[in-house]
């Protein structure tokens, strides 16, 4: 498992530990998060902690050292250096923690994992997340039409990405 500790003025991104898993599962199941992310069992999260292709990280508020979210990054062993930003859940909304987390995820992906491309998919109905990703340099690549079944309805996913040179240019501008 790759050790990660990345900090901003407001948050700390660090490796998820076994004793964080109850927080992770509870956060995922909050109604304002559950409609946007797949639901994993505690065992699925535990197993992901030991997979070399996955980085499971906790987002901590710097002032309290308490978890406020988590992130899953995949594709660490991808030979094409395409890293997938699989999941982000922030339990404290409207405080800028999602933006701070996204900035640190980009930093980890491009500066520590040497990614060429960081990509994600986001549910079509999740306008808030789409706007955040666009404002942080992600480009919409396409739509996977009605590919997720949620509450007896099919939902579409939007695929977005940012390339290393776009990340670097944004840092230098």
pLDDT at 46: 95
User: What pLDDT was estimated at residue 32?
Assistant: 85
pLDDT at 14 over 70: yes
Distance of CA 158 to the CA centre of its chain: 15
Query: Which structure tokens are listed for 165?
Result: 């040179």
How much is the pTM?
0.93
Beta strands 139-150; 153-163: pairing state? antiparallel
Residue 170 reports pLDDT greater than 70: yes
Residue 80: the pLDDT is 97
Q: Residue 1 above 80 pLDDT?
A: no
Given 3-state DSSP classes, what are the helix, strand and coil percentages for the chain, each rounded to the nearest 5? Answer: 35, 35, 30
* 79-101 pLDDT per residue, tens: 999 999 999 999 988 889 999 99
HEC secondary structure over 83-95: EEEEEEEECCCCC
Residue 11 in tokens: 């948050």
Render pLDDT for 98-124 as a digit per residue (tens, 0 to 9): 999 999 999 999 999 999 999 999 999
How high is the pLDDT of residue 130? 96
- Does the pLDDT of residue 160 top 80, yes or no? yes
Q: Above pLDDT 90, what percent of the chain?
A: 83
Average predicted confidence (pLDDT) for the chain = 94
Write out pLDDT tens, residues 49-80: 999 999 999 999 999 999 999 999 999 999 99
Q: Distance between CA 37 and CA 150 in Å, rounded?
A: 10
Does residue 168 have a pLDDT over 90? yes
């Amino acid at each position: 498992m790759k050790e990660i500790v990345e900090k901003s003025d407001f948050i700390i991104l660090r490796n998820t530990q076994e004793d964080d898993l109850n927080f992770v599962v509870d956060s995922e199941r909050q109604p304002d998060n559950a409609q946007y992310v797949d639901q994993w069992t505690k065992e699925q999260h535990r197993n992901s902690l030991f997979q070399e292709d996955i980085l499971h990280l906790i987002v901590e508020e710097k002032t309290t050292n308490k978890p406020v979210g988590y992130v899953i990054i995949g594709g660490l062993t991808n030979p094409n250096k395409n890293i997938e930003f699989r999941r982000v859940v922030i339990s404290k909304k409207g405080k800028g923690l999602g933006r701070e987390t996204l900035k640190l995820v980009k930093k980890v992906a491009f500066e520590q994992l040497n990614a060429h491309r960081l990509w994600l998919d986001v549910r079509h109905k999740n306008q808030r997340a789409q706007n955040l990703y666009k404002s942080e340099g992600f480009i919409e690549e396409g739509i996977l039409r009605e590919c997720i079944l949620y509450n007896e309805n099919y939902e579409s996913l939007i695929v977005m990405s940012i390339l290393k040179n776009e990340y670097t240019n944004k840092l230098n501008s």
